[in-house]
Structure 1
Amino acid sequence: MESSARIPVRVCMGESRSGVWVVGFRTTRVARAVSVDPTVVMSLGLKEQARTARIQVQILDKPFLRDLAMDPSEQDGNGAPEALPPPPPVPPNVTPIKAVSEPEVKKVVRVPMARRGLGTRGNKVPILTNHFKVNVSNVDGHFFHYSVALSYEDGRPVDGKGVGRKVLDRVRETYDTELAGKEFAYDGEKSLFTVGPLPRNKLEFTVILEDVTSSRNNGNASPGGHGSPNESDRKRFRRPYQSKTFKVEISFAAKIPMQAIANALRGQESENSQEALRVLDIILRQHAAKQGCLLVRQSFFHNDAKNFADVGGGVLGCRGFHSSFRTTQSGLSLNIDVSTTMIIQPGPVADFLISNQNVRDPFSVDWAKAKRTLKNLRVTTSPTNQEYKITGLSEKPCKEQMFTLKQKSKDGDGDGEYQTTEVTVYDYFVNHRNIDLRYSADLPCINVGKPKRPTYFPIELCSLVSLQRYTKALSTFQRASLVEKSRQKPQERMSVLSNALKINNYDAEPMLRSCGVSISSNFTQVEGRVLPPPKLKVANGEDLFTRNGRWNFNNKKFVNACKIERWAVVNFSARCDVRNLVRDLMKVGEMKGISVEAPFDVFEENQQYRRAPPMVRVEKMFEEVQSKLPGPPKFLLCLLPERKNCDIYGPWKRKNLSDFGVVTQCLAPMRVNDQYLTNLLLKINAKLGGLNSVLASELSPSIPIVSKLPTLILGMDVSHGSPGQSDVPSIAAVVSSRQWPSVSRYRACVRTQSPKVEMIDSLYKRVSDTEDDGIMRELLIDFYVSSGKRKPDQIIIFRDGVSESQFNQVLNIELNQIIEACKFLDENWSPKFVVIVAQKNHHTKFFQPNSPDNVQPGTVIDNKVCHPRNYDFYLCAHAGMIGTTRPTHYHVLLDEVGFSADDLQELVHSLSYVYQRSTTAISVVAPICYAHLAATQLGQWMKFEDASETSSSHNGTGPGGAPAVPPMPKLQENVRNSMFFC
C-alpha cells in the first residue's frame, strides 16, 4: 500500500570549484548532489513507499530520480525522523537567488473576427433573397430540455430510430392530462423540448403500439427463423409484431432562455443561443415528420411521385425542401430552399436490379454485386405487406434453398405435437402457400433474417420501400441527368418556394405558436452591388475584354505560350481519328501562339490488352512507349475510351507523374472543333508552364496590399470518399502561389490522411530537430526560391469545405500548424495572416426583382442576410447559365493585414478570373478550385493503387490502433512545380 509522508530534506545552493551551481539534497542518512544550470526549475516530489523515499528533481524538462534509503533506526520513538542539523552558511562570494516560478504561457484561442465595415464599391442594385423574416414575441419564455429514454417491456433499450416518433406520438395521445396539455418537439432520438416546464421533472409512461411492422423499428429477430414464415409462424409472432409495449422515461435536462435568440441577433452568441435555434429547427423537422417525409438533416422530402426524377441506374432524384432558422443583421429569418437527395427506385426488387446493373432480365444480374447493393434496404413482402430489412441473399437458388418447416402433426391427438420437414423455399410458397411464382425458381432468395436464423422470400414477392436514400457516388451519366432534370430558372424557383411556404403553413404549427413565432411570406429585399470585372491581359499587352463574366481567345494569343516538343500520342480509344486530331491541334496551337512540333509517334493500344485490368493496360502501353522513343518524352497526349469515370485515368496519371515525371493530358474526344481544341490547349499550356491570361493589376503590379509586400496565397481542400466508403483515405491538398507578384501561378502539395477527417494534419510535421516533412515547408521554400529569395510577409489562406462549427478548428489547429512551419524555418519570422473560408453548400439564393434572369456576375451582398457579428459576404462572381446561380459564402475568420471591405471583396472577385482552364469567371476563387482538382486527381491514384501495395499499408496500425493510412506516392521533381492538376 503506497502512502505519502513529509520527509525532512535540506536544500543547499552554492557554487562549486568548477563554477557551476550545485544543489544538494540531504537526509540524515544520504546526501546527493547534482550539477545544474542557474535557470534550473526545481520540483521536489516526496513519496514514501515501504522503506524507500524518492525525490524527483526537474532540471529544465528532464526528470532525474534519486532513491534515498531510509533506515527505521534513524527515526525517533514515535516514528518521526530525527531533526536535521542547521544548514551551512552561504559562502561570502555567492549571492542567494530567489526561487521564481516560470510564468505560465497562455495558449491563444482564436475566434472568428467581427465585421469591420461594409463595402461600398460597385453599382447598387435591389436583390431578393429566399430568407423570410421571423418575429418572436415570447422572448421572455424558456425552452425546457428533457432527456428521453425508450425501452421495451423487458428493459431492453430501443435502438431503432424510426420507432421513436411513433412512441412519443402515442405518449402525447394517451397521457395528455399528465403532460398538462403541453406540446413538445422531439428530435426522434433522445431529446424533447417544451415551452415552459412539464408538471414534474421526471415522468414515466407505458404505451402500446400496434402494427409495428418494420424490423428496423422493433429491434427483434425476423419472424420464422431457420426458414420462411408459414401460417403458424405468423400466428405465433402476431403478438410481438402487431403490438408491442414500450416504456418511456422523460427527465429534465436543461433550461434554455429564449432571450438567447435576441442576444445572438445582437452578436452575443452563446451555447444557449445555439441550443435555442436548434429547438426551432427541431420543430420544423417534427412538422415535416408528421407528414411522413424523409428527413435528411435540415431537409425533408415528400413521398410524391411528381417529385421524383429518374436519373438512371435504379436511382431517382427526389426533390424536397431545406428549411432552417438563421440569425442575420436584420433579425431572425427562415431560410427555405429547394433541395434534392438521391433515393432508390421503389417497386419490385428485380426491376431495380435490372435498372441498376443495366441488364436485360434478372437472370443476367451479377448477384455478388446485387448482394452489396441490397444490404440494409427495406422491403415489403407480398401478400402480407410486412416490412423487413434485407440482410443478404441465399447461397442457392429458390428451388434448391432448403429450410426446416415446422407443422402440427396430422395424426396428433391435439396436444400440440409438431413435426419438422425439410422443404425448398420454392416448394413452400408454391405448394404450402398457393402462391404462383413466375421467375424466382432459379434466382437467389432475399434473406431478411439474422446470420444464424435466416428468413427467405422469393425475390418476386419483395418490393423496395419508397424514400430510401442512395448514398453511393453517381456516375457521370447520372450526374448529367440529375443536373438536366433538377435545374430551375430563378422565377420558377421563387414560385416553388412561395408555394412551399404556403403548403407547410408554419403559422399553424402549435409549438411555433407557443413560442410566439410568426413568419413573413415575403422574400427579404437586400442591397446588392455589382463589382466591375477586372481587366485581363493576353500576349503583346493586348486587353482581353470580358462580357457577362465570359471572354474568348478569338484572334488572341496566350500571354505566355509554351512550346510542345518531344511529345507523343497514346490511344486507348479505338474510335478516334488520331492523325486528324494531331493536325488540327498543331493548327490551333499556332493560332494561340503555341509552337507544336510534330509528335514522335502515335501509339495504338494492342487489341489483345483491351479487356485486361487497367494497371496492365497502362504498363503495356508504357513498355511500348519506352521501347520506341529515342528518349524520355516531355509530354504525352492520352486518348481515353470514355470521359471522367474511365478506369485507366488513375493508373495512367500516377505512372506519368510519380514514376516517370511526364506531364500528360487526357481527353475523350466526342466532337472535335476549334473551340474544343482551344479549351484543350488552355490546360496543356498551363501544365507545361505557360499562362493563358493574367490580371492587368498583377502585371502593373497594382493589386491593393498584395502587390506591396511579398504575399503568399494558399488554397486548401480535403477530398473524401463517397458516403458509402468509410475506409478510403481522405486526400488533403494545398496549392500555393509562386513567382510573386503573380497571383496566377500555383503549385500543389497533396497528402493522405485518415478517412473522413476534415482538418488537415500534415501542414507541419516535425520528424526531428532539423527536419519538418509537412506540406507548408515545401510550399514556403518554393515561394522563397521562385520569388527572388523573398519570404512572404503576408499569407492569405482560402479554405474550402468546412462548416461553421469547424471555424475555430481552422483558426486553432490548421493555422497553428502553418505558424509552426514558419517558425521552424526562421524563429524570428512572423508573417501576417488572412484566413477566409469559402462555402458553396449553403441554401441562400439571390434573385433579380421582376426579371427572369440570374443576378449579374460580380454581385456582392454583405448586408441584411449576413451574420449579425462575424465578417462574411456573398459573391456571385460567375454568370449562372444553368438553373439558379449559387453564390459563394465567404467567411473572413482572421485579417491581420488590415484589408478594407472593398479591397478584400475586390481581391476575391479578381481571383475568380485567374482560373487557367476556363474562359469564364468561376464561382469560387481559383486557388480553391486548384486544390480541389489536385485532391480529386491524386485521389484517383489511391482508388486504383495496386492491391499488393496497399495491403501491406493497411495491415499496419496508426495512432490509437486505427489502420495506417497509405502514404501518397511522391511526384517526380521535374513535375512537382508544374500545374499538373489543370
Structure 2
Amino acid sequence: MASAKDQDVGKELTPVLPVLPRADAGHQAEARHFHPMVRPGVGRSGRRIQLLSNHFTVKLHDEDAVFYHYSVAIKYEDERVVEGKGIGRKVIDKLYQAYSSELGGKELAYDGEKSLFTVGPLPQKILDFKVILEESPARSSASGNGSPEEGNGKRAKRLLPAKTFYVEIRYAAKIPLNSIAQAIKGLESENTQEALRVLDIILRQQQARRGFLLVRQSFFNGSDSRNYCDLGGGVSGCRGLDSSFRITSGGLMLNMDVSTTMLLTPGPVRNFLLANQNVREPHQVDWGKAKRMLRNLRIKARHTGMEFKIIGLSELPCNQQLFSMKCKNGSGDGQTVEVTVYDYFAQLGIQLSWSAHAPCLDVGRPKKPIYLPMELCDLLPLQRYTKALTTQQRAALVEKSRQKPPERIRVVTDAVRSNKYDEDRMLRACGISIDKQLTRVDGRVLDAPKLQFGNEEFFPQKGRWNFNNKKLLEPKHFERWAIVNFSARCDLSHLSRELINCGARKGIQVGRPYTLIDEDPQCRRAGPIVRVEKMFELIKAKLPGPPEFLLCVLPERKNSDIYGPWKKKNLHELGIVTQCIAPLKINDQYLTNVLLKINAKLGGLNSLLTVEQMRSIPLVNMVPTMIVGMDVSHGSPGRSDVPSIAAVVGSRSWPQVSRYRASVRSQSPKVEMIDALFKLMPNGEDEGMMRELLIDFFQSSNGRKPEQIVIFRDGVSETQFNQVLNVELDQIIKAVNHLGVEKFPKFTVIVAQKNHHTKLFQDGAPDNVPPGTVVDLKIVHPRNYDFFMCAHAGMIGTTRPTHYHVLLDEIGFSADDLQQFVHALSYVYQRSTTAISVVAPICYAHLAALQMSQFVKFEDFSDTSSGQATAAGGHVIPELPPLHDNVRSSMFFC
C-alpha cells in the first residue's frame, strides 16, 4: 500500500484537468498496435576486430522447392492412439521401408508426433497404411497375478508377438522454401517459421535415428561415457549439442553449440537411492521420498533382461510382501498359494541380501501389481532429471561443463563434419548444403567508460578495476550497528576489527559495533523462523535502541534456511538494513566487496560514470530520463504452487543512472508477463508497480518528471516481444497517464537475452573476446533492430554475449549512442568491480525478485485469505509482505 507521503505526491503530479487518453493528447502510440522496429542503421565506433561465430552458412540451391505438410494419425489395432514418440518413429521408419513406391519414392521428415513433411507432394492427399512391427524381448503387459516378474525364464526369452499399427496420412498445407529467401531480404512471410521448423525436424530426425536423446533443439549421445559428468545426488550432466536454423542478415545459418542436460545416473537402483538421499546404508533411506523419486522411471531387471516402468513401491518389505502364485501338480491343475517375493526368488536360486528388508518396486498396473526386488534392478540410461539442482550440483555443473574457446570451436566444427549433412537424403532433396567452417564476422570493441571514485577518475582495464588505495565516491558512515552469528565458526572480534580497518581505507567511518551476539546453542535445532525470532530477542536485550545496520553471519555459504526469515524480519517488520555473509576467509578483497554492498544499501555510491557528473550521456542527461529494469523470477521446476515474483527497478536522482529503487509483486506461477505494472483499484487509485517508481523519480530528481523512459526487459523470447510492447508497455502508459504529466514521455524498449546459443570467438586466439565487443552485422536479424554485446571480461569458459533487441525507440538514439549507453550501464553495478554481462538495471531487478522470493519460501500456499489474489487455475497467490518505510526506497537488493 502507498504511504500518506506517496499519496500527497501523487496528488501533486495529477493535473487539474482530467487526463485525456494518450492518442487525444497528441501522441498516437496508444492508438496503434506496436511491432518490433526496423533497424535504422549500424554502429561505427570502436576498434575493429575479426571474429568467428558458431554459425555455419547454409546455401539454398533450389529456392522453388516446396515442403508439403501432412498430418499423421497412428493407432493400434484396437483403435487406441499411439502416444510414444519412440514408437511413432519406429512405425514411420518401417512404413517408409515397406511402402516406398506407394509414397512415390519421397523422403519423409517426421516430428515424432503428428506431423510429416515431404519435398513435393505425395501421390495422394489421403493415404492409409498397415504397418507390422516385430518386437524384441522387452516389457509386455502385466500378467495380472501379482507375479514378481513377467512369466518364467523360458517365456521371457521368446519374442513377443508382432504388433499391428494403422497409419493415416492426410494433406494439410504447403510451405514454400522461398519464404526463407524472402525473410533474408527483410520481407515478412507467414511461412518462414514453419519452413525453419521443417529444417530443424530434418536434423532432429537424423539424430533420433542414431539413438540420441532429443530435448527440444538439443541432442545427446548417451552411449559415450565421455559425455557424462557426475553432479552428485544420483544426477549426471550429459554434454550434447544444440542445433537450429536461423535467418540472419548474412543469409540462412545453422547455429551449432554445446548443450548440457541433466540425466539420472544409470546403474543399480540401490546406488541411485543412496546417492540421491546422501545416505550410506539402505536402512537410512526415506522410502516416502524414494517412492516419489522413482515413480515413472524405467528400469531393467538384471535376471531377465526385461525393461519396465516403475509405478510405485510395495507397502511391505520384500520378505513380507505376499503375492498369489499358481503351483502346478501332477494332474496339470494349479493350486493358488500365497508366497513372499523373497521366498519366490529364493526358490529360483536368487538370494537377496539388503533388499529383503526394503520395499519392492511395483512395475505392474495400479490394480495388478508386479513386484521386483530393488537389488535386481538397474536404472536405464538417458532418463532426464527435471527437478531443480541443489547449489552443490549447480556449482559442479558449472565447473565440469566449462570449455575454453578453442575447445568449443573444435567440438562444434567436428560435430558439423561428423553429422555428414551433405549425405542426408532429405536435405539433398530440398537443395540445401551446409558449410563446415565457422562464419567470419566483423566486430568492434568499444572503449570502457571513465569511472569516478572518491578521489580520482579512472579508465577500467580489460573490464576490471579495484579499490586499492581508492576511496568510495559517496561513503555512508554507520555507528549504530551489531554483528549476529548463527552458529557459524567465525571470530566476530577479528571480523569487526578488520571491517572497521577496511572501511577506514575506503573512506567509510565504521564505529565499533554495539555488541557481538552469538546464537544460543539450544536454538540450533529449532526451525529457521524460531531461530530468527530468538536472535531478535537477544538483539533487543543487548542494544539500547534500533540499529541502523546488522551484519549477519550465516553457517551455510549458499541457500541457508535462515536467510529468508532473517530478511523478512528486517526488511518487512523492522526496517533495518542488513548484510548476510558466510566468510571462508577474511581478507581485504572479501571485506571490500562486503562494504560495497553495505554502502549501496545504506544509500551511498561506490563509483559513478564520469559522464553522469558531466551531464554528457547522449539524449539522457539533458532531458529527465528514467531507466527501468524488469524481470520475473519463477519457482523451481515442478513447483506449480509457488508464485512467480515480478520485479521492476527504476532509476532515481536524475541525471544519475547508477541509483535505483525496486518494486516487487507476486503473480501467477510460471507466468512471464508482468501483470501489476498498473493496478486500478475500486476507489480509482493505482496501486501498480510503476506508480511508486514514478513518484520516487519525481521525489529524488528535484521535482522533475520523466520525459523519457528507457525500459530494459529480461527473460522473454521472440514470441513474447509483441506482448512486451502491447501488454506491459500499455500498462506503463496507463500508469503514467493516471499520475498525469504535462509532456508525455517518449519510450525506448529493449529486451536482453542471455538464453541463446550464439558464441563469439577471436580468430586464432586462445582467449575470449575482449570486453566491449559488439556485433551488429551478418549474424543479426535481417530486418529487426538487434545486436550482440560482450561487455564483460570472460575469464573462465567461453563468453556468452548478451543479445539485445530494440523493440521501440521513440527517443531516437543513433546506433552508436545506444550501444555506448548499453555498454556504460554494464559499469554501474554497485556491488562489483568488473563490468557485468548485462545492464545493471536488469541485474538489480533479478536480485530484487530473487531476494523477495525468499519471503514466501516458508509460506503455506494452501491457505487463503481475503487479501490474496487467485490465479487462473484456482491457486491462491500469496501477496508479498510490503517493505518497511525505512528501507523501501533503498537498494536493499544490492
Shorter-chain TM-score range: over 0.9
Q: Could you tell me the TM-score, scaled by structure 1's length?
A: 0.86
Query: CA-atom RMSD, angstroms?
Result: 2.0
Give matches, 1:709-728, under 5 Å.
Answer: 709-728=623-642
Give matches, 1:256-405, under 5 Å.
Answer: 256-303=175-222, 304-405=224-325
Q: How many angstroms apart in 1 are the aligned matches of 2:720 and 2:790?
A: 24
In the TM superposition, what is the alpha-carbon distance from 1:264 to its structure 2 partner? 0.9
Q: How many angstroms apart in 2 are the aligned matches of 1:680 and 1:214?
A: 59
* Residue from 766, 783, 801 that aligns with 2:697: 783
Shift in alpha-carbon separation, 1:444–1:899, aligned structure 2, 3 A: same
Shift in alpha-carbon separation, 1:485–1:959, aligned structure 2, 3 A: closer
User: Is 2:400 the counterpart of 1:476?
Assistant: no
In the TM superposition, what is the alpha-carbon distance from 1:486 to its structure 2 partner? 1.1
User: Is 2:127 the counterpart of 1:174?
Assistant: no
SS at match of 1:151: strand
Amino acid at match of 1:167: V
In structure 2, runs of 5+ residues without a counterpart are: 1-27
Where has structure 1 moved over 3 Å in runs of 4 or more? 104-107, 212-215, 220-227, 232-239, 953-957
Amino acid at match of 1:886: R
Residue matched to 1:972: 884
Higher relative contact order (CA 8 A, sep 6+): 2
- % identical equivalent positions: 62
Q: How many angstroms apart in 2 are the aligned matches of 1:441 and 1:256?
A: 60
Shift in alpha-carbon separation, 1:969–1:222, aligned structure 2, 3 A: farther
Shift in alpha-carbon separation, 1:550–1:159, aligned structure 2, 3 A: same
Residue matched to 1:250: 169
In structure 1, runs of 5+ residues without a counterpart are: 1-103
* Residue from 752, 762, 766 that aligns with 2:676: 762
Shift in alpha-carbon separation, 1:170–1:867, aligned structure 2, 3 A: same
Shift in alpha-carbon separation, 1:911–1:459, aligned structure 2, 3 A: same
Shift in alpha-carbon separation, 1:437–1:637, aligned structure 2, 3 A: same
SS at match of 1:911: helix
SS at match of 1:394: strand
Q: How many angstroms apart in 2 are the aligned matches of 1:869 and 1:167?
A: 42
SS at match of 1:975: coil
* Residue from 605, 610, 614 that aligns with 2:524: 610
* Residue from 33, 44, 54 that aligns with 1:120: 44
Amino acid at match of 2:531: R
Amino acid at match of 2:395: A
The question of whether the paired residues in 2 share the 8 Å contact of 1:822 and 1:829 is answered with no
In the TM superposition, what is the alpha-carbon distance from 1:470 to its structure 2 partner? 1.3
Shift in alpha-carbon separation, 1:312–1:937, aligned structure 2, 3 A: same
SS at match of 1:440: helix
Give matches, 1:843-858, under 5 Å.
Answer: 843-858=757-772
Shift in alpha-carbon separation, 1:486–1:105, aligned structure 2, 3 A: closer
The question of whether the paired residues in 2 share the 8 Å contact of 1:224 and 1:230 is answered with no
Residue matched to 1:589: 503
SS at match of 2:826: coil
* Segment drifting more, 383-392 vs 279-288: 383-392
The question of whether the paired residues in 1 share the 8 Å contact of 2:464 and 2:835 is answered with yes
Shift in alpha-carbon separation, 1:161–1:508, aligned structure 2, 3 A: same
Q: How many angstroms apart in 1 are the aligned matches of 2:141 and 2:869?
A: 36
In the TM superposition, what is the alpha-carbon distance from 1:662 to its structure 2 partner? 1.0
Amino acid at match of 1:978: S
Q: How many angstroms apart in 1 are the aligned matches of 2:641 and 2:158?
A: 41
Q: Deviations over 1:822-861 (max 9, x none)?
A: 1111176521110000001111111111111111100000
Q: Deviations over 1:653-677 (max 9, x none)?
A: 1111111111111111101111110
User: Is 2:392 the counterpart of 1:486?
Assistant: no
In the TM superposition, what is the alpha-carbon distance from 1:910 to its structure 2 partner? 0.1
The question of whether the paired residues in 2 share the 8 Å contact of 1:835 and 1:895 is answered with yes
Residue matched to 1:7: none
* Residue from 868, 874, 884 that aligns with 1:962: 874
Amino acid at match of 2:96: R
Residue matched to 1:459: 374
Amino acid at match of 1:134: V
SS at match of 1:798: strand
Q: How many angstroms apart in 2 are the aligned matches of 1:136 and 1:513?
A: 10
Q: How many angstroms apart in 2 are the aligned matches of 1:107 and 1:545?
A: 46
Shift in alpha-carbon separation, 1:937–1:234, aligned structure 2, 3 A: farther
Amino acid at match of 1:974: N
The question of whether the paired residues in 2 share the 8 Å contact of 1:133 and 1:333 is answered with yes
User: Is 2:119 the counterpart of 1:228?
Assistant: no
Q: Deviations over 1:750-770 (max 9, x none)?
A: 111111111111111111352
Q: Deviations over 1:84-123 (max 9, x none)?
A: xxxxxxxxxxxxxxxxxxxx99952211100000000001
Residue matched to 1:158: 82
Q: How many angstroms apart in 2 are the aligned matches of 1:832 and 1:645?
A: 41
User: Is 2:764 the counterpart of 1:840?
Assistant: no
SS at match of 1:678: helix
Q: How many residues align?
A: 866
The question of whether the paired residues in 2 share the 8 Å contact of 1:227 and 1:453 is answered with no
Q: How many angstroms apart in 2 are the aligned matches of 1:789 and 1:956?
A: 34
The question of whether the paired residues in 2 share the 8 Å contact of 1:223 and 1:233 is answered with no
Q: Deviations over 1:885-939 (max 9, x none)?
A: 1100000000011000000000000000000110000000000001111111111
User: Is 2:576 the counterpart of 1:662?
Assistant: yes
Residue matched to 1:195: 119
The question of whether the paired residues in 2 share the 8 Å contact of 1:703 and 1:907 is answered with yes
SS at match of 1:899: coil
* Segment drifting more, 130-139 vs 169-178: 169-178
Q: How many angstroms apart in 2 are the aligned matches of 1:578 and 1:223?
A: 67
In the TM superposition, what is the alpha-carbon distance from 1:235 to its structure 2 partner? 4.6
The question of whether the paired residues in 2 share the 8 Å contact of 1:955 and 1:964 is answered with no
Residue matched to 2:20: none
User: Is 2:563 the counterpart of 1:643?
Assistant: no
The question of whether the paired residues in 1 share the 8 Å contact of 2:137 and 2:158 is answered with no
Residue matched to 1:931: 845
Residue matched to 2:415: 500
SS at match of 1:836: strand
In the TM superposition, what is the alpha-carbon distance from 1:244 to its structure 2 partner? 2.1
Q: How many angstroms apart in 2 are the aligned matches of 1:108 and 1:225?
A: 68
Residue matched to 2:649: 735
Q: Deviations over 1:923-975 (max 9, x none)?
A: 00000001111111111222223x3x752359988254521211111111110
User: Is 2:334 the counterpart of 1:410?
Assistant: no
The question of whether the paired residues in 2 share the 8 Å contact of 1:128 and 1:849 is answered with yes
Residue matched to 2:22: none
Q: How many angstroms apart in 2 are the aligned matches of 1:380 and 1:546?
A: 58
Q: How many angstroms apart in 1 are the aligned matches of 2:747 and 2:157?
A: 66
Shift in alpha-carbon separation, 1:313–1:961, aligned structure 2, 3 A: closer
* Segment drifting more, 771-780 vs 719-728: 719-728
Q: How many angstroms apart in 2 are the aligned matches of 1:224 and 1:202?
A: 40
Shift in alpha-carbon separation, 1:581–1:502, aligned structure 2, 3 A: same
The question of whether the paired residues in 1 share the 8 Å contact of 2:142 and 2:150 is answered with no
Residue matched to 1:41: none
The question of whether the paired residues in 2 share the 8 Å contact of 1:570 and 1:603 is answered with yes
In the TM superposition, what is the alpha-carbon distance from 1:176 to its structure 2 partner? 1.5
The question of whether the paired residues in 2 share the 8 Å contact of 1:288 and 1:300 is answered with yes
Q: How many angstroms apart in 1 are the aligned matches of 2:144 and 2:655?
A: 74
The question of whether the paired residues in 2 share the 8 Å contact of 1:795 and 1:832 is answered with yes
Amino acid at match of 2:414: N
Q: How many angstroms apart in 2 are the aligned matches of 1:962 and 1:977?
A: 34
Residue matched to 1:47: none
In the TM superposition, what is the alpha-carbon distance from 1:449 to its structure 2 partner? 2.5
Shift in alpha-carbon separation, 1:238–1:828, aligned structure 2, 3 A: farther
